[in-house]
Amino acid sequence: MKDLEGKVVLITGASSGIGEATAKLLASHGAKVVLGARRKDRLEKIAEELRKSGKEAIYEVVDVSRYEDMLRMVKTAVKAYGKVDVLFNNAGVMLLSPLHELKVDEWMKMIDINIKGVLYGMAAVLPVMREQNYGLIINTNSTAGYRVMANSAVYSGTKFAVRAISDGLRKEESTDKNIRITNVAPGPVDTELVSHISDTALRDELNEFTKTKGLSPEDVAEAVLFAISQPESASVDEIIISPAKKL
């Protein structure tokens, strides 16, 4: 029997990068994965590939910044598989720019996706997990959730918020329910994340940096697998993972 056999894992941001790599890794360990993101074609292709190789995967097109979408994703999972063991709240955007450029729309987008998206995921899944008296919520944080750099004030702000929300939820749930919360905080990872930065010079610089010096999405997937694989008596509160070759 595979180690995650029978586990139902919801993954947001599953259409690329860390979410996609994690979906593939967890499915190969026997988990039933429910993929969520906005790009239907990508989700369809990933789920189909997984199913063709004998794994369990379904998907739901969701915008995490809409509470009703996250409720629908959880409903789909429960209907298909009867429960939710893990929510990997991973979708996010990183729209870096200096504050004085006043890219207010981009600030709001990061707040909507990175903070509200995480809250909506939690809100959608908590009643199910409390009823089950079992669950693990893994939030994708970042090393930017621990220290602030130039051009990343708002992005860092969203990740600091995710850490605060995770800490608070852990303190509440660990006292009366068997619900654990893990923060996974990677350093730079070679994914599509930087491709959405609107400042082209900053985008090119970071793209080069993550391509040559970053972690792979598969590295981060291993950290998620580690958190899920621990005994129920152990809570992996935080994982910080950075490239082995120091910068």
Residues contributing to the site for ligand NDP (CB under 6 A):
12-19, 37-39, 42, 62-65, 90-94, 113, 140, 142, 186, 188-189, 191-193, 210, 217
The smaller minimum CB distance to ligand NDP, of residues 72 and 177, is found at 72
Q: Which of 59, 81, 120, 155 is catalytic?
A: 155
Torsion angles phi and psi, residue 59, rounded to 5: -140, 160
In the bound state with ligand NDP, the residue whose beta carbon lies nearer, of 20 and 56, is 20
Structure-token pair, residue 74: 């959880």
Q: Rounded to the nearest whole angstrom, what is the least distance from the CB of residue 109 to ligand NDP in the complex?
A: 8
Closer residue to ligand NDP (CB): 132 or 148: 148
Query: For residue 220, which of 139, 116, 163, 153 has the smallest C-alpha distance?
Result: 139
Q: Least distance in Å: CB of 144 to ligand NDP?
A: 7
Residue 146 known to be catalytic: no
- Give Cβ neighbours of residue 1 (< 8 Å, ≥ 6 apart): 30
Give the nearest distance from C-beta 23 to ligand NDP in angstroms: 10
CB 175 within 8 A of CB 150: no
Q: E-assigned strands of 125-178?
A: 135-140
Q: How far is CA 116 from the centre of its chain?
A: 13
31/193 with CB nearer ligand NDP: 193
Can you spell out the DSSP letters for 223-244?
HHHHHHHS-TT----EEEE--S
What's the min distance (Å) between Cβ of 75 and ligand NDP? 17
Describe the chain by its helix, strand, coil percentages, rounded to 5: 55, 15, 30
Q: Please tell me the number of Cα atoms within 13 Å of 143 on its side-chain side.
A: 12
> Residue 4: phi, psi to the nearest 5?
-105, 15
Q: How many CB atoms lie within 10 A of CB 53?
A: 11
- Shortest distance, CB of residue 16 to ligand NDP, whole angstroms? 4
**Cβ neighbours around 171 below 10 Å, total:** 10
Cβ nearer to ligand NDP, comparing 19 with 157: 19
Residues with a catalytic annotation lie at: 155
